[in-house]
Amino acid sequence: MDRRVRVRFAPSPTGALHIGGVRTALYNYLFAKKHGGDFLIRIEDTDQNRYVPGAEEYIIEALKWVGIIADEGIGFGDGPHAPYRQSERKPIYLQYVTQLLDAGFAYYAFDTAEELDAMRERLKASNVDSKYDAITRMAMKNSLTLPEDEVKRRLDAGEPYVVRIKLPKKEDVKFHDEIRGWVNINTAQMDDKVLFKSDGMPTYHLANVVDDYLMNISHVIRGEEWLPSAPLHVLLYRYLGWEEVMPKFAHLPLLLKPEGNGKLSKRDGDRLGFPVFPLEWKDPATGEVCSGYRESGYLPEAVMNLLAFLGWNPGTTQEIFSREELVQAFTLDRVSKSGAKFDQNKAKWFNQQYVRHTPDNVLAESLKKDVLAHNLNFSDEYITKVCGLIKEKISFIKELWEIAVYFFVEPTTYDEAVIAKRWNDKSSLVLEDLIQLVRSNEAFDATLFEASYIEALSKNEVSNKDFLQLLRVCLSGVAGGPPIFEMAALLGKEVTIARLQYALSNINKP
Ligand code: GLU
């Protein structure tokens, strides 16, 4: 039977969402759209100690900015499974923890923090893994070791407790991961995780399984850090009698530091100067501000594209994918098992490609703001043409003004290295002739300017190779830029003549 695809992104609001988290959301989104299914957002806030104000809003804003739009859930409108915030679902979980307790798959534990620490110390001293498991639990204070009436007395007296899963001592738990294939873990390596606390709140493990079941989740696509928890979840499905409808699992590879040695962290971003968060984030506790892709000038479409490629590839050489193309091309079997190294140059490259494909008039809106901010007055048409000429030269839209400034402001300084290398006794003569020729022509465009330039060169027996860069510096002050004759054509005949003349008298000749 083919099941309707339903996937979820289930972040905990414990801080800003790392781009690894955005990638997880993206893969879920692409998978859902590819299969005509549903993608939902669930907020996993059962650990109130780790709750960070503003984090939930940040996560939703970040997803929307990148263009990851959910069908139901927090931030995107309630669907049939509301509420989608686990703290608001608190009354739901008691029934399932009771079911596990009654069936003997879970037990009450009353150990204090000090008693747990003492147990860990004891085990560490004898070089044993410090786990609360089938062996150690028999020496602890729980409903497996205490007399029944004492357990009842403690519960009636309102003593704090937790409910732990009762794992078998030694049993293989085998499940199929859509990316990694068969995974086999023995319960001897696992511990009796806490499922529920006496304040009535479930822990992540129980809430996650119950909600995935109730929300009809067909595939759990999440980060590799959850792989060790998957066998526990498999057992919970089994113990709750839901194995038949257990979702398929897909654990995504880690995002690695550019050097490949470990998980990409906030510190790598600070160290190497690139953002690891989608949006700027101000930590409410420390006031620390972390840079974001949005504020750094990345286009959301570029971020979607570059994130898609961190751990997935289409199996072809195509790298630029629209959202629709990604939906079409995305499959879990092309997600890699090994970690994906973050490459900041590649990230920039993606943005550059999207800037190049942004229509000139859209770029012009941004450049116009800078032009106005400098109290300059140019037509929209002129600003748009400037954008068309220089967009190949930038990686970020905010670089437009810096690169294009000479289209709006006369240069008064000239690249000294070029002058030192290229200026010679013939240079003034070429410039004078060029000014003369341009003036004598009624019309002015790129082709005519080039023709005049070639004529001025040949008259003075100067080669293009020796003079072209000098001509550029005379017109713009700087050594690099767009095709030079088109640049002059856009500046116009009068400005071109004026700039050549100014350069002639103001360049500090070597
Ligand atoms: N709440 C978990 C997190 O913050 C979600 C893990 C999962 O998707 O099962 O990453």
pLDDT at residue 2, as a whole number: 81
pLDDT tens digit string along 229-274?
A: 999 999 999 999 999 999 999 999 999 999 999 999 988 988 888 9
> Are 302 and 369 found together in one domain?
no
Q: Say whether pLDDT at 143 is over 90.
A: yes
Q: Based on the structure, what is the number of domains in the chain?
A: 4
Measured in Å, residue 233 CA sits from the centre of ligand 1 at: 12
pLDDT at residue 175, as a whole number: 98
Which atom of ligand 1 approaches the CA of 225 most closely? 10
| CATH code of the domain containing 306 | 3.40.50.620
> Are 370 and 299 found together in one domain?
no
DSSP for 345-374, written as a single string: HHHHHHHHHHHHTS-HHHHHHHHHHHHHHT
Q: Say whether pLDDT at 135 is over 90.
A: yes
Ligand 1 pocket, residue 72 CB under 6 Å: no
Q: Say whether pLDDT at 509 is over 90.
A: no
Q: Are 10 and 214 in contact (CB under 8 A)?
A: no
Band of pLDDT at residue 129, cut at 50, 70 and 90: confident
Q: Say whether pLDDT at 1 is over 60.
A: no
Q: Which backbone phi and psi does 390 adopt, to 5 degrees?
A: -110, 0
Query: Judging by DSSP bridges, how do beta strands 255-256 and 72-73 pair with one another?
Result: unpaired
CA proximity to 28, closest of 13, 15, 41:
41
Which atom of ligand 1 approaches the CA of 221 most closely? 8
> Are 192 and 99 found together in one domain?
yes
> Are 181 and 148 found together in one domain?
yes
Q: Whose CA is nearest to atom 10 of ligand 1?
A: 11
In a domain? residue 234: no
> Are 494 and 466 found together in one domain?
yes
> Are 366 and 427 found together in one domain?
no
Which atom of ligand 1 approaches the CA of 9 most closely? 8
pLDDT at residue 267, as a whole number: 87
> Are 276 and 327 found together in one domain?
yes
Distances (CA, A) of 34 to 2, 29, 221: 15, 8, 14
pLDDT at residue 271, as a whole number: 86
Mean pLDDT, to the nearest integer, of 35-45?
98
pLDDT at residue 128, as a whole number: 85
In a domain? residue 78: no
Rounded-to-10 torsion of CA 44, 47, 52, 54 = 30
> Are 366 and 352 found together in one domain?
no
For residues 383 and 123, the model is more confident at: 383
Distances (CA, A) of 224 to 83, 230, 307: 27, 10, 16
Ligand 1 pocket, residue 47 CB under 6 Å: no
Ligand 1 pocket, residue 229 CB under 6 Å: no
Which of 197, 213, 240 delimits the end of a domain? 197
- Which residue is catalytic, options 266, 346, 385, 426? 266
Residue type, 493: K
| CATH code of the domain containing 445 | 1.10.10.350
Measured in Å, residue 250 CA sits from the centre of ligand 1 at: 13
Measured in Å, residue 42 CA sits from the centre of ligand 1 at: 9
> Are 187 and 167 found together in one domain?
yes
pLDDT tens digit string along 335-365?
A: 999 999 999 999 999 999 999 999 999 999 9
pLDDT tens digit string along 373-421?
A: 999 999 999 999 999 999 999 999 999 999 999 999 999 999 999 999 9
> Are 60 and 123 found together in one domain?
no
pLDDT at residue 508, as a whole number: 85
pLDDT at residue 104, as a whole number: 98
**Alpha carbons 316 and 52: distance in angstroms, whole number:** 42
Ligand 1 pocket, residue 476 CB under 6 Å: no
282 given a catalytic annotation: no
Ligand 1 pocket, residue 349 CB under 6 Å: no
pLDDT at residue 269, as a whole number: 87
| Alpha helix ranges (H) inside 215-359 | 230-239, 266-272, 300-308, 323-329, 344-356
> Are 430 and 395 found together in one domain?
no
Question: Which range of residues forms the domain containing residue 389?
Answer: 358-407
At a CB cut-off of 8 Å and minimum separation 6, what does 126 contact? none
> Are 396 and 312 found together in one domain?
no
pLDDT at residue 473, as a whole number: 98
pLDDT at residue 164, as a whole number: 98
Q: What is the mean pLDDT of the chain?
A: 96
Ligand 1 pocket, residue 24 CB under 6 Å: no
CA proximity to 304, closest of 283, 330, 266, 271:
330
Residue type, 39: F
pLDDT at residue 266, as a whole number: 87
pLDDT tens digit string along 103-117?
A: 999 999 999 999 999
Distances (CA, A) of 325 to 25, 33, 40: 17, 11, 21
At a CB cut-off of 8 Å and minimum separation 6, what does 83 contact? 89
Largest CA distance in the chain: 111
In a domain? residue 279: yes
Q: Which residues partner with 184 through β-bridges?
A: 174
pLDDT tens digit string along 429-465?
A: 999 999 999 999 999 999 999 999 999 999 999 999 9
In a domain? residue 490: yes
Q: Which two tokens stand for residue 39?
A: 């993608």
* pTM for the predicted model, two decimal places: 0.93
Ligand 1 pocket, residue 55 CB under 6 Å: no
- Decide: helix, strand or coil at residue 111: coil
Mean pLDDT, to the nearest integer, of 490-502?
98
| CATH code of the domain containing 113 | 3.90.800.10
Mean pLDDT, to the nearest integer, of 311-329?
98
In a domain? residue 213: no
Q: Which two tokens stand for residue 400?
A: 């437009």
In a domain? residue 214: no
Ligand 1 pocket, residue 44 CB under 6 Å: yes
In a domain? residue 339: yes
Burial, 266: exposed, middle or buried (Cβ in 10 Å; 0-12, 13-18, 19+)? middle
Band of pLDDT at residue 317, cut at 50, 70 and 90: very high
Measured in Å, residue 192 CA sits from the centre of ligand 1 at: 19
- Kindly state the percentage of the chain with pLDDT values over 90: 95
**Alpha carbons 487 and 491: distance in angstroms, whole number:** 6
Which atom of ligand 1 approaches the CA of 208 most closely? 9
Q: Which two tokens stand for residue 190?
A: 């696992």
| CATH code of the domain containing 377 | 1.10.8
Mean pLDDT, to the nearest integer, of 40-66?
96
- Kindly state the percentage of the chain with pLDDT values over 70: 100
For residues 269 and 178, the model is more confident at: 178
CA 135 vs. chain centroid, Å, equals: 43
